[in-house]
Amino acid sequence: MLKKYLTVQLQGQAEIVIQKSRFIGHIQRTETEEEAQAFIQKIKKEHSQATHNCSAYLIGEHDQIQKANDDGEPSGTAGVPMLEVLKKNGLKDTCVVVTRYFGGIKLGAGGLIRAYSKTTSAALQETGIVKRQLMKQVSITIAYPLLGKIENELRQKKYIIETIDYLEQVSFHVLVEVNQLDAFTTWITDLTSDQANLDINGETYIEIPHHT
């Protein structure tokens, strides 16, 4: 699993008009090729009267799956430029469909490339980009006399406390960045004079807004 990567918020769209043609960019996070294809088909069904529904997506930790489709536009003027915008923004697991309703004025190859790129960028801006950060789920179990001290220290250092269980002892369930786990373990051990039990329960991603 990647320690961190960029992708889009779940879904969004934007519309622009260029030389009387309507371009509508639709973007969705898609973690499998099946999800990407289903999204493309959904947009094609919603905009079945459109002149074109061009698409591009990249899937996988290392962008193993990359597809671009011009849907009837001149070869290389739609799908590939759209894919390049996704790549330029460093995105993963993202699918974009740009719907075009032809307005009667031909744009030429250069104009089409700019139009499809611009629409993709506008849709990205409207949807928003997030950084997904891989976190370790750590449980810290301590005796009640340490409760105030540990909770205060965790909050001061802005660690994410998912839940606190108040049982015979207190258990904090905390999210820690993968590459900070060793330092965190040492810090808690020192802070509690080795009076804490630490358990690693798994991994999860958190999402942080990313501003380009």
User: What are the tens digits of pLDDT across the range 89-138?
Assistant: 999 999 999 999 999 999 999 999 999 999 999 999 999 999 999 999 99
CATH 3.30.70.240 fits 133-210, yes or no: yes
H/E stretch holding 140 reads strand 129-142
The CA–CA distances, whole Å, from 30 to 22, 40, 93 equal 25, 11, 5
11-40 pLDDT tens trace = 999 999 999 999 999 999 999 999 999 999
> What pLDDT sits at residue 206?
95
What is the DSSP-derived secondary structure letter of residue 178? G
Q: Are 102 and 51 in contact (CB under 8 A)?
A: yes
pLDDT given for residue 108 in this prediction: 93
**Nearest partner of 175 among 130, 207, 145, 149, judged by Cα:** 207
Q: pTM for the full model?
A: 0.86
How far apart CA 83 and CA 99 sit, in angstroms, is 15
The ranges assigned to domains in the chain are 4-127, 133-210
Q: CATH classification of 4-127, choosing from 3.40.50.300, 3.30.930.10, 3.30.230.30, 3.30.365.10?
A: 3.30.230.30
One fold for both 4-127 and 133-210?
no
The tokens for 9 are 């918020």
Q: Could you give the 3-state DSSP secondary structure of residue 40? A: helix
How many residues belong to the chain?
212
HEC profile of 161-175: EEEEEECCCEEEEEE
